[in-house]
Structure 1
Amino acid sequence: MENINKIICIDALEGINSLPDNSINLIITSPPYFNCRVYGNETIGREENPLDYINNLFKYLNPLKRVLHKEGSFYLNIGDIYFGTKGFSRNKGRYSRKTDKHYLEYKIAKPDGKYLQYKQLLMLPERIAIEMQNAGWILRNKIIWEKPNPVPSYSKDRRYPVYEHIFHFVKSKKYFFDIKKAKELGHHRDVIKNRIEPFKFHQASFPLSLIKPLIEITSKEGDIVLDPFMGSGTVAEACILLNRNYIGFEINEDFCNIAKERLEKIYDFQY
């Protein structure tokens, strides 16, 4: 395939549709979270309603079944969100790291007295996982990524959120999984403790130390790993270090350039 070991600045769905059937051995990705940071020209995460977000995201994720090899795996990281006291607000300005709050905001959803109630945890990860199951995906694990250094919470009436979900999907009953390697790396349990590793240009980037074991356990050297929402290029870097091939799609041109510059420092990156 002509896209191997390249990051393509393209919408994820367009990129996925360009790939051959059963051509990808492993997929690892973290799509844009609902109503969080606005980086530029996103097509996911800026919906007016969380259920619209679920439906839109599913349109991107389900086509991955066609391109995933029958023995392949798909790891999906999804973040959750609370319905705030003023409804949802979309960030139109910068993101404040110190307060973890947005400013220059405006409302994009209103409470309905049922699902959309003030202070409601919306269960977005579970909702998308159920949509995937209904479409025929097999959910093998709901991995809890526990963060010893979470972003501080300023709420005074609930517990601090210290974890995120990583769902492990497959498309067939027989798939590659190296349990011996999983035990060796301490990734044989469904709760994984891993610190956040902020990347200079992308606060929401995957920690490299979290991604590498996933790749080692569910792929072999020379396999092709896809990240359709590449961001700052962590999955690609892990693939290079572990002798895997990668394909990355990223719609944001700034992140494409950041990821390419990052990889150029590792090896002679081909554009």
Structure 2
Amino acid sequence: MEAAYSDNFTTIYQGNSLDVLKQLPDESVNCCVTSPPYWALRDYDCDGQLGLEENPDCLGWATGDKCGECHVCNIVRIFQEVYRVLRSDGTLWLNYGDTYISNPTTTGKSFRRDRSECVPRRGKTQTTKEAADFVGPNCSKVLPGKSMVGIPWRIALALQADGWILRQDIIWQKPTAMPESVRDRCSKSHEYIFLLAKSPKYYYDKAAIKEPCTGNAQGRGDGVNKKARFPTGWDGGTGGHDQKQGRYKNTGVGFGHGHDKKPKPRVKQNASFSAAVNEVVDSRNRRSVWTVMSERYPEAHFATFPTKLIEPCILAGCPKDGVVLDPFMGSGTTAWVAMDHFRKSIGVELNAKYIELIKKRMSQPALPLEV
């Protein structure tokens, strides 16, 4: 298999993701960070692209009767190959935004709602009839109008049913989300990143993505209630005053034959432990809501990953000199950020136009433009 682009850090293949992934060796990448084309939100003018399926989900992952043609079935099929090429300690970071069953899309424009961008449809102008044929009747056969499709969770649960370990849903909160002309619900300002793993024990660098604490954040306490009426471990008696009659609780410590096999009490009130947990801390474990500004790329790719969104995924999920996979490269942000942090990357892109865009981008420093 010949690469469309290759350097010391990045290897890019042009073609269908499923076809390319099948040619990659088993357990050859450390983590996968990607965002597949969203269902029914954009035509990328490429034969074989995802997102144009008539049915979003046949529910075969729940019923066992898979159609093999709906969007979720196609996604699961691709990530079966991702599962194969991922190391046993690898992780998948999957970004996906939801959409709604709605009236025909805006004439002349295709709105990928959850990427907060509205751009002209490439290649040709979309007529009202074409929009109605694509979004209106097709979607109404599946769900009632105005329904939120729930595609991100459908995909996550389908992958879980296929053998992935679904570890967490991370919320990408977007401060600059595109306003929506809706009057009967809140404007959407978030997407999902799902963290999935192959094994219960997997590579995860917690320290690499710690977030700063604000103010005088304290560590956890030492477990001692200084206002308690009785000493720690005191078991009040049944008669007289509680303060006088009683005993220390049975700790399981004994003497004589076999006493060393009895459970020992957990003692955490020691000087080193108390000092460690009571000191002021300047960082904490990263929370599951990530506030990340949208970014624009001068070359006008309409669905650009924010670099700050990808950074923690790569830093936590891939060691230095490891390999990051992105089977839906788009403008190549995953490979760009991986290179900036001394990780290698393998990417797949269906559209030949974007391959040229990625080649140009890989020669530029990873300095995002926030909007």
Q: Quick check: 1:25–1:224 contact (8 Å CA) kept in 2?
A: yes
Q: Deviations over 1:60-95 (max 9, x none)?
A: 122211110011110011121100145xx6x89554
- TM score, norm. by length of structure 2: 0.66
Which ranges of structure 1 fall in alignment gaps of 5 or more residues?
Answer: none
Give the one of 290, 299, 313 matched to 1:192: 290
The higher radius of gyration belongs to: 2
1:73-222 equivalences under 5 Å are 73-85=91-103, 94-95=109-110, 103-104=126-127, 105-108=131-134, 109-112=138-141, 116-184=143-211, 188-200=286-298, 201-222=300-321
Q: Which residue of 2 aligns with 1:6?
A: 11
Name whichever of 118-127 and 99-108 sits farther off. Answer: 99-108
- Compared CA separation, residues 206 and 99, structure 1 to 2 (3 A): closer
Q: Quick check: 1:205–1:232 contact (8 Å CA) kept in 2?
A: yes
Q: Which residue of 2 aligns with 1:49?
A: 55
Partners in 2 of 1:125 and 1:154 — Cα distance? 23
- Compared CA separation, residues 164 and 61, structure 1 to 2 (3 A): same
Partners in 2 of 1:255 and 1:44 — Cα distance? 16
Q: Which of structures 1 and 2 has the larger relative contact order (alpha carbons within 8 angstroms, sep 6+)?
A: 1
Q: Quick check: 2:41–2:110 contact (8 Å CA) kept in 1?
A: no
Partners in 2 of 1:242 and 1:122 — Cα distance? 36
Q: How far apart are residue 100 of structure 1 and its match?
A: 7.3
Partners in 1 of 2:33 and 2:167 — Cα distance? 15
Q: Which residue of 2 aligns with 1:25?
A: 30
- Compared CA separation, residues 23 and 94, structure 1 to 2 (3 A): same
- TM score, norm. by length of structure 1: 0.89
Q: Deviations over 1:87-113 (max 9, x none)?
A: xx6x8955478867975223231524x
Q: Quick check: 1:178–1:218 contact (8 Å CA) kept in 2?
A: yes
Identity %: 35
- Compared CA separation, residues 202 and 99, structure 1 to 2 (3 A): closer
Q: Which residue of 1 aligns with 2:21?
A: 16
Partners in 2 of 1:21 and 1:195 — Cα distance? 36
Which ranges of structure 2 fall in alignment gaps of 5 or more residues?
Answer: 4-8, 58-69, 213-283, 367-371
- Compared CA separation, residues 251 and 99, structure 1 to 2 (3 A): closer
Q: How far apart are residue 182 of structure 1 and its match?
A: 2.2
| CA RMSD, 1 decimal | 2.5
1:63-82 equivalences under 5 Å are 63-82=81-100
- Compared CA separation, residues 93 and 39, structure 1 to 2 (3 A): farther
- Compared CA separation, residues 13 and 196, structure 1 to 2 (3 A): same
Q: Deviations over 1:123-180 (max 9, x none)?
A: 0010011110111100111000000000121111110100001000000011111112
Moved over 6 A (4+): 96-102
- Compared CA separation, residues 187 and 262, structure 1 to 2 (3 A): farther
Partners in 1 of 2:188 and 2:119 — Cα distance? 13
Letter in 2 for 1:35: A
Name whichever of 121-130 and 40-49 sits farther off. Answer: 40-49
Letter in 2 for 1:150: A
Q: Quick check: 1:149–1:195 contact (8 Å CA) kept in 2?
A: yes
- Compared CA separation, residues 163 and 263, structure 1 to 2 (3 A): same
Q: Which residue of 2 aligns with 1:263?
A: 362
Q: Quick check: 1:34–1:45 contact (8 Å CA) kept in 2?
A: yes
Q: Which residue of 1 aligns with 2:78?
A: 60
Q: Quick check: 1:38–1:92 contact (8 Å CA) kept in 2?
A: no
Q: Quick check: 2:101–2:148 contact (8 Å CA) kept in 1?
A: yes
